[in-house]
Every structure is written in structure tokens, then in C-alpha cells.
Amino acid sequence: MLDKSDPIGDMEQDMGYFRTSLMLAALTALFMGVGWLLGGTAGMAIALGVAVAMNFYAFWNSDRLALSRHNAEMVSASSHPQLYALVTELADRAGLPPPKIAVIQSAAPNAFATGRSPEKGVVAVTTGLLDLLNPDELAGVIAHELAHIQHRDTLTMTIAATIGGAISMLAQFALFFGGGRNRGVLGFIGVILAALLAPIAAMLIQMLVSRSREYVADRTGAEISGAPLVLASALQKLSARAGRVEMATAERNPASAHLFIVNPLSGARMDNLFSTHPSAENRIAALRAMAETMPPRPHRAAATRQNSMPVVRRRRGPWA
């Protein structure tokens, strides 16, 4: 189990709460601003009410929403015993309750975590991920997702995706129905600018938080698994494959792209400037630097015998 008295870890957690508050405040203010352009003071008040309602709904349904968007199916210890044992052991190392596990039928190798709290955590992996990675690399990816659950990033970014999508819809509504027309030319121009710029602004706000949280999750995940270089190897494989294999559910739901360990969107849909993920090269470099200063740990096979980490043997197809 990881040391819970780490002052650096506590400081990172406090910064996480600050980023959460800052991001949600910015998104809510943006939502209200578009509402004002659409309907003046009344429109702003309505937008605020909708934002509060959406936050409440997203809080209680964050896991279900994320899983349903990607057709993830819950699995059990009986259907996937090796995967289940691996996730359970890593959760124990992290001091977390074992999360539920879901599998997405997609050839694109990827994974994400969701849930409004550690007690409600869910780790979802694609069949492509299970096919591509070896057992140690899979453990590194799972540990990364558990780090997101530990830091409560899953709730933060699920709420952000919900409000971000609502801003885009509200902006389009403003464009087509032109709520600012009764305020003259300037009001109409403001509506057009809001419709064009508000979705981009929402995306940029999500990007700023998402990029920083990936670095923290990489570091914490490497501490959980004890193998920064293994996670670096997994990221190298995933980044090389992710851009070439389309993930249909992610293309239909681009606002949820930030949930995944690597960007699931093809280059045609998401330019690097607006990516919610840091570049794989920078993440790999950070993990390699971490490995140089991290105390050596036993090889994973030895750790399995000493600490009851299950040996997950390589096989093709979904792990069973």
C-alpha cells in the first residue's frame, strides 16, 4: 500500500481540488455568458439553473454516462478472472476499494476510469488494449487509471465534459435563434461570436486541467505499479496505435476524449493544439526521468511470489 502521509501527495491533492473549483467556475461562467447573449439577464439566470441541474445530474450519474457512451459492458471475476485479480491487487496497493471493471468491444487500444468517488470507481479497458499489451504493461495502464480514481479526477472531468457539451449546444441554439437580435447589430454579432468561440473556450479550459492531471496520474500510477519504464512502454505502444485505429464511440462523443489514457480521436477530428492530452513523448520522458530517481524494486515475477500479485499470462483476445 502506498504511503498516505506523503506531504507532496497531499499538496498535489489540494492543488487538484483548487483546479477543480477553478475549472468548474470558469465553465459555469462561460455557460452563463452565452445564456446572457441568448436572453439577457433572464437567459443568464436560466443558464445558471441548467448548469446547476447538470452538475447535480452528472455527479450522481458520472459512471453510467461515461460507460453508456462507449458501450462498455461490466465483467466479473468469473468471466475475466485474471484481469479481475490484477485490478484488485493494484487497488490494494493503492489503498483503494476494488473498482468495478468494464470491457469495451473496440480494436482501438485504450482505457479510462470513471465514478464519482473511489467507492464508485470503474475501470474500463478496450479489447484492443488487452490484445496489444503484455501483462506488465497492462498493469501499468490499470495503475494509471487507479491514480485518476484516487485523485477523484474522474468526477471532475465527467462534469467538465457534460458542461462543455452543453455550452456547445447552447451556443448553437444562440446562433440559430439569435437571442441577441433585439439588442441591435452588436448583440447579433455577440451571439455569432459566442456560437463560434464558446465551444473552443470550453475545450481549452478542459485541456488545461486534463494535461496536468495526466502527468500526475502517470507519476502516481508508476508508484502504484513500481515500474515507470513499463508504463512508458505501454504509452509508446498506445500512442503509436491509437491514431491509426478509429474508435467509433469516441468519434461520436468527442467531449469524453479526455477520459482516456491516450487521445482516442483521429487526427482529422482533433488537432494537437486542442488536444486534452500531453504529447506521448513528454509523458514518456517524464517517466524515464522518474525511473532514474526511483528506488529499485523486485522484478514483477518476484513481486508476484512475495506480494501475491497474480501472474497474468499472455493470451490473445479478451482476457478470461
Catalytic residues: 145
Contacts for 76 with CB less than 8 Å, ≥ 6 apart: 84
Which residue, among 31, 22, 24, has the nearest Cα to 165 in the 3D structure? 31
C-alpha torsion sign, points 268, 269, 271, 275? negative
CA-closest candidate to residue 206, choices 157, 252, 145? 157
Q: How far is CA 297 from CA 95, 248, 293, 309, in A?
A: 19, 39, 12, 14
Does the CA dihedral 283-288-294-295 come out positive or negative? positive
Nearest by Cα to 26 from 170, 270, 208: 208
* Residue with grid cell 495502464, as numbered in its chain: 141
Which of 71, 39, 258 has the alpha carbon at shortest distance from 162? 258
Q: How far apart are CA 163 and CA 183, in angstroms?
A: 27
Cell of 320: 478470461
Phi, psi for residue 107 in degrees, rounded to 5: -75, -15
251, amino acid identity: E
Do residues 243 and 142 lie in contact, with contact meaning Cβ atoms separated by under 8 Å?
no
Nearest residue to 135 (alpha-carbon basis) of 124, 145, 143: 143
Distance from C-alpha of 250 to C-alpha of 124, rounded to nearest angstrom: 14
Q: Which helix (H) or strand (E) holds 236?
A: helix 228-242
